[in-house]
């Protein structure tokens, strides 16, 4: 009976402190966001959605840095971005 109790406590402690902590941030907004087209989770560093190929980032015409497609201004060179203007 004592051995069964210790095994149960070990499993509970493992779940609370190790398993739950390791998988807590899988879809945290810092690392993942949703595709605006298909709503599948994507990493923040992706340029296109791997599921539907929606363009998520584009190259700024002014400085050449990758910027979010939804941004109005480039945070690097302050150029006004136009949708569909950059490649």
The whole-model pTM stands at: 0.54
Q: Is residue 26's pLDDT more than 70?
A: no
Q: What is the DSSP letter of 68?
A: E
Q: Is residue 85's pLDDT more than 80?
A: no
Q: Is residue 72's pLDDT more than 90?
A: yes
pLDDT of residue 79: 93
User: Do residues 69 and 58 touch, judged by C-beta distance below 8 A?
Assistant: yes
Average pLDDT, integer, range 40-62: 90
Average pLDDT, integer, range 25-29: 54
pLDDT of residue 78: 92
């Amino acid at each position: 009976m004592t051995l069964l109790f210790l095994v149960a406590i070990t499993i509970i402690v493992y779940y609370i402190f190790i398993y739950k902590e390791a998988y807590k941030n899988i879809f945290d907004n810092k690392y993942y966001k949703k595709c605006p087209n298909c709503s599948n989770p994507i990493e923040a560093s992706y340029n296109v959605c791997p599921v539907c190929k929606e363009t998520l980032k584009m190259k700024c015409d002014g400085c050449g840095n990758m910027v979010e497609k939804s941004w109005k201004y480039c945070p690097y060179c302050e150029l006004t971005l136009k949708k569909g203007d950059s490649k």
